[in-house]
């Protein structure tokens, strides 16, 4: 399950989770050609993070790669989507309205959406899809855990009642992400079932690429390109080289070293999505010495965040302030920046009985670019307060099954998913994916209070307070945020600007500028 969570996080959530577009140690890129060969203007070719060897066709379980999420977002409609400002925007659902208790929500779906086989999309299809997601909770990490889907019911063709297990004011946000709607009764996903999305899969392509044709019956804005080809390419360097050699028109998640080399190349565009990727330093709160708050605080104070940002991410990003979801709409914006203070950190270590230091193992991997160099630099910085951290470089293929959620001190990964998704996946007491062993009952009571608050501003304030407490008392050190870096052919337009799940919606890309 840990391995599934890691791949899932990397793909979505987010929040869903997105492959980091950064690298501090990627191999040098070949010189860029004068310009990529022109492709037919009716086809956009996208090299996306992902692997063809574990590509999936079921939209409701594990989506292990960003390429899988993109393919699903082309084929199927979702109920809501994250907006550029962090608010929830309608997609297939046009309205979500609660009763006074915030436990019964009337969800209204569009009356002009049809599946690719001509059937109209009904509320029953949407509720069936949510229930199917609930049945596959072990694969999608309980995305529907807040809903009582058995008590939920269809009202008519365009509305259904969605029941929550307790007051839950963020239903619109909970319906963001992978709420892909399929026809009621669908059970065989060996091949894609009919969808109501902006494109339809074709028979073109091969094992590593899938070609989609525009769905001219889609209810939304007409996609400008007739075809979109999605290629799953696991290696970020290979994705970038495919763009530079003219094999694709868009390469997602390229190494920072290569992006730096292409600055000033008029044949390509560098696209940056701020705050898309974090490599949090994990300190398990149920294991010595990190069961002492003073040690966790000392670690946070010992980090030279600017040096880490410039070395690991080559400056493509911003300094972290130990907030686990700093780009979430509810994240606090006015906290003082935590800076390096070795004197204060040494005193905290002494107060914790560790004036002579401590020997630890810091686990890392090469699964994502720069994770190994980040651990090496962190180890060097922690030596200044007596933490002698030996870096253990672990195999990429087993890191998230053998290290993640098990070891007391390691580098993790998080990419662009909302705060409430992080809570559900990585902060739930008793869960094997609760990597810091966070279990403060008062904090979770405060979370229930926030989610039962109908006033948006008040709820956002309560959620911000919870994130501040987690920042100061929890087991994460978030030292920097990396930009997501994509390379695009000059003239390509319509690439989504959001991070996490929002980046999957590429239906408006065009080669016409």
What's the pLDDT tens digit per position in 302-332?
999 999 999 999 999 999 999 999 999 999 9
pLDDT of 6 above 70: no
Residue 240 and residue 9: Cα distance in Å, rounded?
22
Q: What is the DSSP string of 225-242?
A: -SEEEEEE---HHHHHHH
DSSP-derived secondary structure for 363-419: EEESSSTTHHHHHHHHHHHHGGGTEEEEEEEE-TTTHHHHTTTTSSEEE--B-S--H
d(CA 109, CA 116): 17
Domain 281-483: homologous superfamily in CATH: Dipeptide-binding Protein; Domain 3 (3.10.105.10)
In the numeric block, which tokens belong to residue 200?
């339809």
Residue labelled with tokens 């292409």 = 262
CATH 3.10.105.10 domain residues, the chain: 281-483
Which of 169, 476, 425, 471 has the alpha carbon at shortest distance from 333?
471
CB 194 within 8 A of CB 218: no
| Topology given in CATH for the domain delimited by 80-174 | Dipeptide-binding Protein; domain 1 (3.90.76)
CA-CA distance, 212 to 229, in Å (whole number)? 6
Q: What is the pLDDT of residue 62?
A: 84
Q: In 10 A of CB 344, how many CB atoms?
A: 14
Least confident of 50-59, 75-84, 123-132, 219-228: 50-59
| Confidence at 139, pLDDT banded by 50, 70, 90 | confident
Beta-sheet pairing, 153-156 with 93-98:
unpaired
Cβ count near 19 (within 10 Å) = 26
Element (H, E) at 342: helix 342-351
Q: How sure is the predictor about 20, in pLDDT bands with cuts at 50, 70 and 90?
A: very low
pTM exceeds 0.85? yes
What average pLDDT does the structure give for the chain?
89
Residue in this structure with the two tokens 């940002």, named with its chain if needed: 309
pLDDT tops 60 at residue 61: yes
The predicted structure's pLDDT at residue 133: 95
Is 131 in contact with 185 (CB distance < 8 Å)?
no
The CATH 3.90.76.10 domain(s) of the chain lie at 80-174
CB count within 10 Å of CB 334 equals 6
Q: Report the phi/psi class of residue 416: left, alpha or beta, with left for phi > 0 and alpha for psi in -120 to 50.
A: left
CA distances to 7, 11, 422, 425 from 14, rounded to whole Å, are 11, 8, 7, 9
């Amino acid at each position: 399950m840990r391995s599934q969570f890691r791949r899932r996080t990397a793909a979505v959530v987010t929040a869903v989770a997105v492959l980091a577009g950064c690298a501090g140690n990627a191999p040098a890129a070949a010189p860029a050609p004068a310009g990529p060969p022109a492709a037919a203007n009716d086809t956009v070719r996208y090299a996306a993070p992902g692997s063809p060897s574990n590509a999936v066709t079921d939209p409701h379980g594990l989506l292990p790669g960003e390429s899988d999420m993109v393919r699903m977002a082309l084929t199927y409609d979702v109920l809501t989507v994250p907006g550029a400002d962090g608010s929830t925007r309608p997609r297939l659902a046009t309205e979500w309205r609660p009763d006074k208790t915030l436990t019964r929500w009337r969800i209204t779906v569009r009356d002009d959406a049809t599946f690719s086989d001509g059937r109209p999309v009904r509320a029953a299809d949407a509720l069936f899809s949510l229930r199917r997601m609930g049945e596959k909770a072990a694969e999608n990490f309980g995305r529907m855990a807040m809903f009582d889907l058995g008590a939920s019911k269809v009202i008519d063709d365009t509305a259904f009642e969605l029941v929550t297990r307790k007051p839950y004011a963020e239903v619109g946000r909970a319906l963001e992400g992978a709420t892909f709607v399929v026809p009621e009764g669908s059970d065989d996903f060996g091949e894609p079932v009919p969808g109501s999305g902006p494109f339809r899969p074709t028979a073109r392509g091969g094992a590593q690429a899938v070609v989609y044709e525009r769905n001219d019956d889609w209810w939304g804005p007409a996609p400008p390109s007739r075809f979109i080809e999605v290629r799953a390419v696991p290696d970020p360097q290979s994705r970038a080289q495919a763009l530079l050699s003219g094999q694709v028109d868009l390469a997602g998640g390229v190494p920072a070293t290569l992006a730096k080399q292409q600055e000033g190349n008029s044949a390509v565009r560098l696209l940056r999505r701020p705050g898309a990727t974090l490599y949090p330093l994990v300190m398990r709160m149920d294991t010595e010495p990190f069961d002492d708050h003073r040690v966790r605080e000392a670690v946070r104070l010992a980090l030279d965040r600017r040096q880490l940002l410039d070395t690991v991410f080559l400056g493509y990003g911003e300094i972290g302030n130990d907030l686990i979801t700093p780009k979430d709409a509810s994240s606090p914006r006015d906290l003082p920046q935590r800076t390096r203070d070795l004197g204060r950190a040494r005193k905290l270590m002494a107060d914790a009985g560790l004036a002579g230091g401590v020997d630890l193992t810091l686990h890392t991997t090469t699964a994502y670019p720069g994770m190994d160099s980040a651990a090496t630099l962190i180890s060097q910085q922690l030596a200044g307060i007596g933490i002698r951290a030996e870096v253990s470089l672990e195999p990429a293929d087993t890191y998230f099954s053998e290290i993640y959620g098990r070891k007391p001190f390691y580098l993790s990964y998080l990419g662009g998913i909302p705060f409430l998704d992080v809570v559900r996946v990585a902060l739930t007491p008793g869960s094997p994916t609760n990597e810091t062993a966070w279990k403060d009952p008062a904090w979770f009571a405060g979370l229930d209070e926030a989610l039962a608050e109908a006033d948006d501003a008040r709820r956002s304030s309560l959620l911000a307070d919870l994130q501040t407490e987690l920042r100061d008392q929890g087991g994460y050190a978030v030292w920097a945020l990396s930009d997501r870096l994509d390379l695009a052919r000059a003239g390509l337009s319509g690439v989504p600007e959001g991070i996490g799940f929002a980046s999957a919606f590429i239906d408006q890309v065009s080669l016409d500028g």
